Structure 1
Amino acid sequence: MLCRKLDPLCTIRAVYAQLLIHFELHKTAGKTDLTLFVSLSAHRVILAAGGDYFRALLCGGLRECEQEVVRIQGIAAWVLWSLLDFIYSGQLKLGWQNVWDLTEAALQFQLQGALTLCLNFLQEHLDNTSCLDVLSLAETYGLQQLGLVAENFVLAHFQRISEGEKFKDLSCHLLEHLIEKDTLSAESEVRLGSFPALLQRIRFPLMTPQEEPGLGLFCETPTPTFTFHIVIVNDNFERREPNHCLWFVRRFLRGEGLIRTVEWELLAQLPDPSRLRHCVCVLNNVLYVLGGRKYYGKLDILKSCLPDMASPRDYFAAVCWGGKVFVLGGNHDDMNCLDSVEYYTPEDNTWRLAHPLDTPICGHAAAVLDGEIYVSGGCDSSLRCLPCLWHYDPTQGCTSRSPMTGGDGRAGHVMLTTKNRLVVAGGLQPTWIGFSDQLRCEAYDPLSDSWTALPLLPRPHLSPAATLLDGQLYVMGGSSADSARDTAWVHRYDPWENSWEKLGMMPRPFADLAACTLQLSLGPFPHQC
């Protein structure tokens, strides 16, 4: 275990923070004034000066500003202790046993100094055993400099690394990226013949006649029927151009430490028009793509489906109930929200109006629990963020239930049903200066009409995609209200373990997307015999 120390900061901001800390400690005679959930004591002003996350948490107008005990969940006690020790001393004890957790925590709590020490350790201790994990970590978190160092190491030692066990866990996407590099050092061009998508990267003119028979190791076998997540995305996130891509998850891969990878595959192209801020529903294993918008003008909001809906809408909610597809509320023209509810009947291919909601809203969520429709949160036409929960009946309208307790409201979130409860996650919340990311999650029990706090989301997910598989909640993509950046993260909530797990990333950062779980029967694909 090595002890790393951060060089003293020499900025005006750091000097000011140190003066503030000295004044506050003198005023309190060294007594701590804050207790964290894992029973670790600290000085509020030192934490606030230590990083942007704690500054926003303790000085940004949230309820934690006035609390003496602050709950920081979803992080191991030893990790939090190490970060507190770093904030006070500038020192961090690092080894291969703890560097993965500390790197992720430093990113989560925006402790740039601790992150720098972790990245330096990873770069300085690269070897044939660790380099693939480091490369995957850099790829997952977008750590460009670390990724460049790890990639160059892998390329220089590719032959030896490819003979190790960890090489089998490398994602197809990353593998393809590596073998197309001219600087790759290998004894021959027969490298990865068992991956058909990579065959086009092999330099066939460089192969010897003795190597060519190695390509005969493939056979065609049908794949069984699987259940996959289907994700509909606006593909060009840099130019904010929606497109027609339909992706599915082939599998989830687990590496050493924190390394997780999602293997994505392009399934199909959606028909015109391309769209975002839409909804999807699956009824009788048929995927319905509803509403949304084709671009960012107020005239670009869509009402297209099979027959058109009565009203164009985006930022709305959709559920399947009673053999029908329901769409509820939404944004109408970037100035006014809708309270209207429509439902589609597949038998006669017709939309009809149902009882309206109590108030026009957009950015809300809806789900079905025990045969009943529930609607949560959202914003009204005055951009007020609501904490409300309603039970909705298509013939009688809304009945208020106990409001959500995590913050003063929630919008741009997801709500799904698992273990006979409604789980809400992600989105944004109102603050005294506007809106901020909502990391609190909670579950609603209809029998007791009450909410229970769940572990915090590890990362912001504003307007993400979400779906259920085997009772677990998957949250994908979206953006951050605090940074205004799209995200590629995929997280999974396990209601039995009551914990969130990072699964990896989407092909790119995406926001304003939708997801569902669909039963697919895929055609034959090349398989190694």
Structure 2
Amino acid sequence: MDAADKVMEPSSCSRPEVEAEKRDYGLTLPAQTANLRVTVEGNVFTVDRATLARGSEYFRALFRSGMRDCQQEEVDLKGLSARGFAIALRVMRGERPVLNDNEIEEAVECAAFLQVEPLVKHLLDAVNSDNCVLVYHTAAAYGLLELYHGVALFIRDMYHDLREDVKYLPEDLIEYVESLTPSTFVAVGTHTSCTESELCHAATRTICYLDEDEEDWKVLTHLPMEASTSMAGVTVLDNKLYVVGGVSGVHKQAVESCFCYDAVTDTWSKLASPQQLRYNFSLVGQGDHLYAIGGECERRVMSSVEMYCVSTGVWSFASHLPRPAAGAACAKAMSRIFVCLWKPMETTDIYEYVPGTDEWALVTTLIRHQSYGHCMAGHRDNLYVMRNGPSDDFLRCMMDCYSLTSGQWTAMPGHYTNSKGALFTAVVRGDSVFTVNRTMTLEYAIEDKKWKPKNQMRGFPRSGSMWTFLLRLPRAGKQPVAHDVLDTQKA
């Protein structure tokens, strides 16, 4: 085994959930301060009523019913497996257990019967190409619609790779998957806001998508005139593209205008600007919120974090970063938000934002030569950290993988051709990673934590840096990018 293939020692900062996941799935769950005994298949669980009320709609309704049953000290659940209930309890208590096929089926049954929303979310987070067909079929059998739809979307994104497995499903389940729209790789270059005197440049202010059938880029929509993608925050949440902040002019004047693009209706709308104007920050969407993390204002690096509630349209401050950071690498994995904060020159700390407690928790530390100037991507329960090659070689990219489950770092063997920043725009879809620059669009297949080149297509026909993301969008009526008129590869 090469040295690069060796697994590093587990991080001393691993989360307590990692140890919990190593416990047996038996029924020896630690007792909490509890006042309810739940009997399942002859096994008695002593559980805190508050835990059950927070996590299960079934128990929440029971406790609020006012009926005699809500005052009982013991409840006997019929038709459920004890192991499925034990898994539900673990998830309601904040653990993230890794489940085998039998446990998945029992967990889905329990989630459906007791209406355990945290367990549904955990099952969605745990869906991968190995278990998605099983989860999909089981969710359909138990009528767990949120899980059913979420897994169907996952399968649709990987339909080409999963076609052989999917064909054994009932016809109605196959038809539902095929009725859905797959995710599409989308990119936009960096543009500052456009004035009336600059209308001649408006034609170049396009957001483009990759037509994988024709292996070429096509125009999706044009940016609003006031929108800036230069040093802005750009992210996708619930199939809507958000462009927040940015700069305008050579003096990096902060832009107040913020916009949202609805991919389904092909329309733009404005949204409120953050309370603290910022640029060169990271924007991440999770749940019902956008998180504007760090950044700069008037050339001052900040540690402040703001969150935008989509349902209310209000910005509010969240807990500050542990230290100021601009342009920090961020990624989501298992519906968790992670950010890299580096200490020049060789240390990178990875923090997780915990919404429930509004705090930043140190997850692990990576010590590597030239570990700064990187980006991060999440796949399954792994975080991939990309950094510059040796001796400031920007044409090569070194990569390390951190497992959230085991708490271990693995140095990826060899190096990856970065080719002017392509890998620093990595976007994950299923078991594929899309990277792009002006020269080429490259799709990697993730196999055994290694990235293997899978498909090469035409590059994005714009110069400079870019934002990349995934959207589910109708393709009818979209036009190819005018390669011979705009900023083309022939220029």
Q: TM-score, normalised by structure 2?
A: 0.50
Contact map agreement 2:188 2:467 (CA 8 A) in 1: yes
Shift of 1:454: 2.2
Contact map agreement 2:345 2:372 (CA 8 A) in 1: no
**1:513 is matched with which residue?**
466
**1:491 is matched with which residue?**
442
Gaps of 5+ in 1: 1-36, 39-68, 72-222, 254-261, 478-486
Aligned AA (2:190): N
Contact map agreement 2:345 2:370 (CA 8 A) in 1: no
Which among 459, 471, 477 is matched to residue 431 of structure 2? 471
Which among 304, 312, 333 is matched to residue 348 of structure 1? 312
Which among 328, 340, 346 is matched to residue 376 of structure 1? 340
Change in CA separation of 1:503 and 1:332 when aligned onto 2, cut-off 3 Å? farther
Q: What is the alpha-carbon distance in structure 2 between the residues aligned to residue 385 and residue 313 of structure 1?
A: 27
Q: What is the alpha-carbon distance in structure 1 between the residues aligned to residue 281 and residue 400 of structure 2?
A: 21
Show CA shifts across 1:308-332 (max 9, x none): 1122333322222232111111232
Identity %, equivalent residues:
19
> What's the secondary structure of 2:397's corresponding residue?
coil
Aligned AA (2:398): R
Which among 391, 398, 403 is matched to residue 365 of structure 2? 403
**2:322 is matched with which residue?**
358
2:427 equivalent to 1:458 = no
Contact map agreement 2:229 2:246 (CA 8 A) in 1: yes
Shift of 1:374: 1.2
Change in CA separation of 1:233 and 1:400 when aligned onto 2, cut-off 3 Å? same
**1:75 is matched with which residue?**
none
Show CA shifts across 1:222-247 (max 9, x none): x98442111111379xxxx8962100
Q: What is the alpha-carbon distance in structure 1 between the residues aligned to residue 213 and residue 310 of structure 2?
A: 34
Aligned AA (1:491): L
Which among 398, 409, 419 is matched to residue 440 of structure 1? 398
Q: What is the alpha-carbon distance in structure 2 between the residues aligned to residue 233 and residue 365 of structure 1?
A: 18
Change in CA separation of 1:376 and 1:282 when aligned onto 2, cut-off 3 Å? same
Which among 243, 247, 262 is matched to residue 293 of structure 1? 247
Aligned AA (2:441): V
Q: What is the alpha-carbon distance in structure 1 between the residues aligned to residue 390 and residue 4 of structure 2?
A: 19
**1:248 is matched with which residue?**
209
Contact map agreement 1:278 1:514 (CA 8 A) in 2: no
Q: What is the alpha-carbon distance in structure 2 between the residues aligned to residue 512 and residue 226 of structure 1?
A: 26
Show CA shifts across 1:131-160 (max 9, x none): xxxxxxxxxxxxxxxxxxxxxxxxxxxxxx
**2:272 is matched with which residue?**
307
2:476 equivalent to 1:523 = yes
Which among 284, 288, 307 is matched to residue 319 of structure 1? 284
2:220 equivalent to 1:267 = yes
Relative contact order, higher structure (CA 8 A, sep 6+): 2
Q: What is the alpha-carbon distance in structure 1 between the residues aligned to residue 254 and residue 331 of structure 2?
A: 27
2:356 equivalent to 1:391 = no
Q: What is the alpha-carbon distance in structure 2 between the residues aligned to residue 310 and residue 429 of structure 1?
A: 38
Shift of 1:301: 5.3
Shift of 1:357: 0.4
Contact map agreement 1:275 1:295 (CA 8 A) in 2: no
> What's the secondary structure of 2:361's corresponding residue?
strand
Q: What is the alpha-carbon distance in structure 1 between the residues aligned to residue 342 and residue 257 of structure 2?
A: 20
> What's the secondary structure of 2:294's corresponding residue?
strand
Larger Rg: 1
Aligned AA (2:253): L
Aligned AA (2:316): R
**2:298 is matched with which residue?**
333
Q: What is the alpha-carbon distance in structure 1 between the residues aligned to residue 477 and residue 461 of structure 2?
A: 27
Q: What is the alpha-carbon distance in structure 1 between the residues aligned to residue 416 and residue 468 of structure 2?
A: 19
Contact map agreement 1:385 1:410 (CA 8 A) in 2: yes
Aligned AA (1:389): I
**1:284 is matched with which residue?**
238
User: For residues 44-59 of structure 1, what are the structure 2 equivalents within 5 Å?
Assistant: none
Count of equivalent residues: 281
Shift of 1:422: 1.1
Change in CA separation of 1:440 and 1:509 when aligned onto 2, cut-off 3 Å? farther
Change in CA separation of 1:504 and 1:399 when aligned onto 2, cut-off 3 Å? same
Q: What is the alpha-carbon distance in structure 2 between the residues aligned to residue 512 and residue 403 of structure 1?
A: 28
Contact map agreement 1:344 1:351 (CA 8 A) in 2: yes
Aligned AA (1:291): G
Aligned AA (2:287): G
Shift of 1:248: 0.3
Q: TM-score, normalised by structure 1?
A: 0.47
